[in-house]
Amino acid sequence: MPKPKILVTGATGKTGAPTALLLRQRGYPVRALVHRNDARSAALQQAGAEILVGSLEDPIDLREAMRGVQRAYFCPPLEPGALRRATIFADAAQEAKLEALVVLSQWLVDRTHLSIHAREKYLAGRIFAWASDPGVVTINPGWFADNYMAALEPISQFGLMALPLGDGLNAPPSNEDIARVMVGGLTDPAH
pLDDT tens readout for residues 80-91: 888 899 999 999
Helix (H) or strand (E) holding 92: helix 82-96
Which residues lie across from 135 on neighbouring strands? 100
Radius of gyration of the chain (CA): 17
Which of the listed ranges 33-42, 75-84, 129-138, 149-158 does the model predict with the highest average pLDDT?
33-42
Judge whether 116 and 123 are in contact, CB under 8 Å. no
Average pLDDT estimate for 59-71: 97
DSSP state of 135: E
> What number does CATH give the domain 6-145+174-187?
3.40.50.720
**pTM for the full predicted model:** 0.88
Handedness of CA 140, 118, 102, 49 (dihedral sign): negative
Query: Which residues are CB-neighbours of 156 under 8 A, at least 6 positions away?
Result: none
